[in-house]
Structure 1
Amino acid sequence: MESIGTCPICLTDISAADEAFIEPCLHHFCFRCLQAWVRTQQNQASPVTCPVCKTPFNSIIYDCHDVAYRVWSIDDAPTSTGKHLDNRFGLTSEQRRRRSRYSAPCNQVEEEQVSAVEKGNTLESRHFEEVFVTLKALSRPAVAQWLIRELQALLLQEDVDLLAHHIVGNLKHGIEASVLEKKRLKKLRPGRLEGDKAVEVVAAAMVPYFPEYGKKLGQEFVEFIISGLNIDAHDAVVFRIKEEEAEEEEGIG
């Protein structure tokens, strides 16, 4: 199948039969990826924007043959209100619990991580510029599962696989770029991406959806990746402090 470039959303080859362009910026993507992107963005308050340059757009050019083409208006795309989404996709108790993490300020999350160390738990308080994300750590199956669960909790919808793939793909691209840079500088280190840069990558990918939660998601994601824990074990560590504090408050009362 003929390839005419790489889709910035799914990071795979764009087939000629599935090529689509955003009007007016003319960045090209897989048509199916753009449709999924539009559906996801339409469920948010912000306007639909290009994944590459963030230009707002209302139509997609596709099915191009020489000078002939078709236009897909995003006004024709099915939309869902937040209420509808919540009824259609019910959060699990774990997702509701995780969602509450994002309603707390960043400094509160960091204080809880410091408290975890003081109480002897395995979750350490880390400075993100001092830790690294590697391809090996990013390739653990639990990493994609954790991210999908998190995005579902934040966006209140089930179909988040494309966005999760986009975030992980961008992180892998960052690691691969780091490898090339180290080779250029003749530094023989394994491919890895600094934690603070990984947080920035995740935050940038979340801008069209929940920009206010992008940094927090990045921090939580990096913490999970470098922890090496499975989802249940990580949840147990993260929420143990809150449970212990609640028990202490009940004892005082």
Structure 2
Amino acid sequence: MEDDAAIEVRNHVSPEPEPESEEDSSCCCPICLGPFLQLSYLDKCFHKFCFNCILRWTKVVAGKHRSPPSSVKCPLCKTENFSIIYGVDGSCFQRHYVNQDFEDSFILSRAHRYRLQCYYTEQGFLDDIFNISQYWRSLKYNQPNCWLENWLRREIQALIQEEDVDIILHHILAVVKAALWTRREQKSHMNAPEKKQEEFKMSVSEAARPFLAARTDRFVYEIQLFLASGMNIEAYDAAYIQRLGWSSPGVNTEVSHSELVDRSTVIPYMHLFDGDFDENE
């Protein structure tokens, strides 16, 4: 006997889907903004997301509850959903219940949430303070940065919303170090910082893309911005926040909805940064 969700899935998803129109093919996950990876659906409203994206979303929401919740509101329409449907092939599907991994969920700190929110702003608003082009032209990339590892760890944790990122961190960090601080410099590189920068961007993008997907290009830009600043993490955060006009990501502060809307975001507001979402349920 098939349950109601199976019938609804088959009604919404054809076993032999028609070819996508040009408009349909441009659709992307509302969370990561990239093409759908392992397409999944919430079981009541049937809004579509990448499986990993919506799974991480449910973990963030679950972390706001004192006990494991049995449902979660869709980030798009706020409909209550009890599970994620994925692996639909027309004859069967798999189901992941909302509270299944509650004990393993990673709770984003305010600092993590601040960094994640930075990725939803327009790129380039700090270029007049931290000059990336000058960083490459002045060969400052030859100077190792002792704060980079900790900064990268927080950045990756915020983007993929997982606590244990050591494997990803060391993989990306090794590529960054190889691209910046090895002794294999050629004269052509010394005279062509633009070429050095492009090689850095290509190598780091290749290393990060399997983990960060659609956020990879912005991630590579943010690495360059942090390196160009020459600051430690605390000073860099202060400069970033001051330019955006946000509150500090400290213990008693919160970025408000109005502050977020005032800064043009590149995706629809999805309730991720409300301090009280789902708390009254």
Q: TM-score, normalised by structure 1?
A: 0.51
The equivalent residue for 1:124 is 130
Task: Detail structure 1 runs of 4+ shifted over 6 Å in the superposition.
Answer: none
Q: Does 1:223 align with 2:197?
A: no
Residue deviations 1:52-99, cap 9 Å, x none?
xxxxxxxxxxxxxxxxxxxxxxxxxxxx93246433211111111110
The equivalent residue for 1:113 is 126
Q: Distance in 1 between matches of 2:231 and 2:242?
A: 15
The equivalent residue for 1:100 is 117
Q: Does 1:205 align with 2:207?
A: yes
Q: Distance in 2 between matches of 1:147 and 1:91?
A: 15
The equivalent residue for 1:50 is none
2:158 to 153, 171, 174: 153
Q: Does 1:134 align with 2:141?
A: yes
Q: 1:188 to 1:222 in 2, by over 3 A?
A: closer
Identical positions, percent: 22
Shift of 1:169: 0.7
Q: Distance in 2 between matches of 1:96 and 1:224?
A: 18
Q: How does 1:82-101 map to 2 (within 5 A)?
A: 82-83=56-57, 85-86=59-60, 87=63, 88-101=105-118
For this pair of structures, how many residues does the alignment match? 155
Residue deviations 1:140-195, cap 9 Å, x none?
1x11000000000000000112111111111222346672534xx7x889xxx833
**Letter in structure 2 aligned against 1:82:** R
3-state DSSP class of the match of 1:124?
Answer: coil
Q: Distance in 1 between matches of 2:139 and 2:58?
A: 40
Question: Retained in 1: the 8 A contact 2:144–2:181?
Answer: no
Q: Distance in 1 between matches of 2:179 and 2:221?
A: 16
The equivalent residue for 1:144 is 149
**Letter in structure 1 aligned against 2:153:** I
Question: Retained in 1: the 8 A contact 2:115–2:158?
Answer: yes
Question: Retained in 1: the 8 A contact 2:153–2:169?
Answer: yes
Q: 1:188 to 1:235 in 2, by over 3 A?
A: closer
Shift of 1:125: 3.7
Q: Can you give the 5+ residue segments of structure 2 that lack an aligned partner in the other structure?
A: 1-35, 39-53, 64-104, 247-258, 263-281
**Letter in structure 1 aligned against 2:230:** G
Q: 1:217 to 1:170 in 2, by over 3 A?
A: same
Q: How does 1:38-49 map to 2 (within 5 A)?
A: 46=37
Q: 1:131 to 1:166 in 2, by over 3 A?
A: farther
Two-structure CA RMSD over aligned residues (Å): 3.6
Q: Distance in 1 between matches of 2:118 and 2:126?
A: 12
Shift of 1:197: 2.9
1:240 to 236, 239, 242: 242
The equivalent residue for 1:174 is 179
Shift of 1:129: 5.8
3-state DSSP class of the match of 1:194?
Answer: helix
3-state DSSP class of the match of 2:126?
Answer: helix
Structure with a larger share of its residues in strand: 1
Q: Distance in 1 between matches of 2:112 and 2:168?
A: 17
